[in-house]
Amino acid sequence: MNFRRRGMYKNIIVDRDPAGIVTLTVDRPGAKNAIDVETMGEIRDVVGALEQDRDARALIITGAGDEAFISGGDLKNFRTLKTEFDGRDMSIFFHTTLNRMAALEIPVIAAINGYAYGGGCEMALYCDFRIAAENAMFGMRQIKLGIMSAWGGGQRFLRLVGRGKALYYMMTGDTFDAAEAYRIGLVERVVTRGDALPTAHAIAQKIAENPATSVRFIKRSVNEGADMPLRNAIAYESEMLALLWGTEDHREAETAFAEKRMPVFNKPREK
- Tens-digit pLDDT string for the chain (271 aa): 444 455 689 999 999 999 999 999 999 999 999 999 999 999 999 999 999 999 999 999 999 998 999 999 988 888 888 898 998 999 999 999 999 999 999 999 999 999 999 999 999 999 999 999 999 999 999 999 999 999 999 999 999 999 999 999 999 999 999 999 999 999 999 999 999 999 999 999 999 999 999 999 999 999 999 999 999 999 999 999 999 999 999 999 999 999 999 898 855 545 4
Q: Say yes or no: 170 and 39 in one domain.
A: yes
- The answer to whether the CB of 142 falls within 8 A of the CB of 128 is no
Q: Say yes or no: 79 and 185 in one domain.
A: yes
Q: Say yes or no: 237 and 197 in one domain.
A: no
CA pair distance 145, 104, nearest whole angstrom: 32
Instruction: Please report the pLDDT score of residue 219 as a whole number.
Output: 96
In the chain, which ranges are continuous DSSP H helix?
A: 37-51, 75-78, 84-102, 119-125, 153-161, 163-172, 178-183, 196-208, 212-225, 230-245, 248-258
Which residue type, as a one-letter code, is found at position 204? A
Q: Among 183, 208, 233, give the residue marking a domain's end.
A: 208
Reported pTM: 0.92
Q: How many residues does the chain have?
A: 271
Q: Say yes or no: 128 and 240 in one domain.
A: no
Helical axes 37-51 vs 84-102, angle rounded to 10°: 30
In a domain, 270, yes or no: no
Q: Say yes or no: 98 and 142 in one domain.
A: yes
CA dihedral 206, 211, 215, 218 (to 10 degrees): -130
Closest CA to 204 of 9, 62, 100, 11: 62
Instruction: Please report the pLDDT score of residue 181 as a whole number.
Output: 98
In a domain, 200, yes or no: yes
Print the domain residue range for 89: 12-208
Instruction: Please report the pLDDT score of residue 81 as a whole number.
Output: 87
| Structural domain count, the chain | 2
Q: Say yes or no: 125 and 243 in one domain.
A: no
Q: Say yes or no: 157 and 25 in one domain.
A: yes
CA pair distance 266, 248, nearest whole angstrom: 7
Q: Say yes or no: 132 and 230 in one domain.
A: no
In a domain, 151, yes or no: yes
Q: Say yes or no: 136 and 249 in one domain.
A: no
Closest CA to 137 of 121, 153, 149, 150: 121
In a domain, 199, yes or no: yes
- How many of the other CB atoms lie within 10 Å of CB of 5? 11
